[in-house]
Amino acid sequence: MLLRLLLFLFFSAALQNTCLSQEGGGKADPPKKDQSIKSKRKQHKADKKKWKEDRRNKRAEEKKIRDHHKRIQTKEVRKRMKKSKGKAIRNNTHQREPFFQRLFQKKRGKGSKQPKEKTSKVQQY
């Protein structure tokens, strides 16, 4: 019992030393309002207008880059780009190819009629 009392006093003394009070004490001063509501609205409106203008300029610049990239390609490449863009859009929206396209395209995978060439790791002489 005496040992418990001594341990309790020792730990309570140790904890009191670690709890330091904060400087300044009391409540902090409330923040001062340096802008009125109207000026905040004007500032927000100006920021929004600037953001829209920046976004418009950025999009126009990206469009110029895309158009230039398309313009420097050959006719065949442009056709291939258009076709692959359509495929990408269809894949991203999880749509299947149209029925007749699926019907007449080359089979691949398990349904293929042509046997796959088996390459062995052992060299044949």
Where exactly are the structural domains of the chain? 36-90
Q: Residue 44 has what pLDDT?
A: 95
Q: Over the chain (125 residues), what is each successive 10-residue block's mean pLDDT? A: 75 64 63 76 95 97 95 94 91 87 80 59 57
- Picking from 83, 107, 111, the residue whose alpha carbon sits closest to that of residue 91 is 83
Q: For the whole prediction, is pTM greater than 0.85?
A: no
What does the block give as tokens for 116? 């796959």
Handedness of CA 11, 13, 17, 21 (dihedral sign): positive
Q: Residue 67 has what pLDDT?
A: 93
Q: Is 104 helix (H, G, I), strand (E, B) or coil?
A: helix
Yes or no: say if 70 and 81 are a contact pair by the CB < 8 Å rule.
yes
Q: Residue 94 has what pLDDT?
A: 86
Q: Residue 3 has what pLDDT?
A: 75
Q: Residue 18 has what pLDDT?
A: 56
